[in-house]
Amino acid sequence: MSNGSNQVYLVTGSNSGNSQNYLKKAILLIERIKNTKILTTSSIYQSKSYGQIKQRDFLNQAIHIETKLTPYELLEEVLSIENDLGRIRKERWGPRTIDIDIIFYGDEKISTPNLTIPHYDWKNRDFFVAGLKEIRCPYIEGNGLSLKNVKKLV
């Protein structure tokens, strides 16, 4: 991809149905986003659910992409992928077929009702940090999390 591209880090998550299959389908659909290229993906990590709702463990994966889309265009694309993969938004932090979070978009700092970059709580979520560390995301170096709440799946 030529100049004008942005380095972006996403994290996908799933804990409904065949979670590994949903993560694979998300990758295939992200690869189809116009003016966007996947550079690398992390292993899949298993983590306890986040929040107060009792539910099964999540599978998560970090993805490094390069895109010419704006942050808002990318948000539209990932929301469309979530919709295509059956994401239903009933309750905050509830079970889901797929969740795609934009964690970092270059050095951008955005704070709107629909989009916050960097992700507002990335430092406190071991399942974000584990995958991002693996793919050498430059924004997380030196983070002191123990990563005790995640398990790398082989």
Task: Return the biggest CA–CA distance within the chain.
Answer: 45
Do 105 and 95 contact (CB within 8 A), yes or no? no
Q: Does 101 qualify as catalytic in the annotation? A: yes
Q: Does 92 qualify as catalytic in the annotation? A: no
SS3 22: helix
Do 153 and 46 contact (CB within 8 A), yes or no? yes
Instruction: Give the span between the Cα atoms of 150 and 154, in whole angstroms.
Output: 13
Which residues touch 31 (CB under 8 Å, ≥6 apart)? Answer: 37, 38
Does the bond joining 113 to the residue before it have cis omega, within 30 degrees of 0? no
- List the catalytic residue out of 32, 84, 87, 107: 87
Q: Does 126 qualify as catalytic in the annotation? A: no
| Structure-derived torsion over alpha carbons of residues 129, 10, 22, 35, reported in degrees to the nearest 10 | -160
Q: Does 96 qualify as catalytic in the annotation? A: yes
- List the catalytic residue out of 89, 96, 125, 136: 96
Do 123 and 144 contact (CB within 8 A), yes or no? no
> Would you name the residues annotated as active-site residues?
87, 96, 99, 101
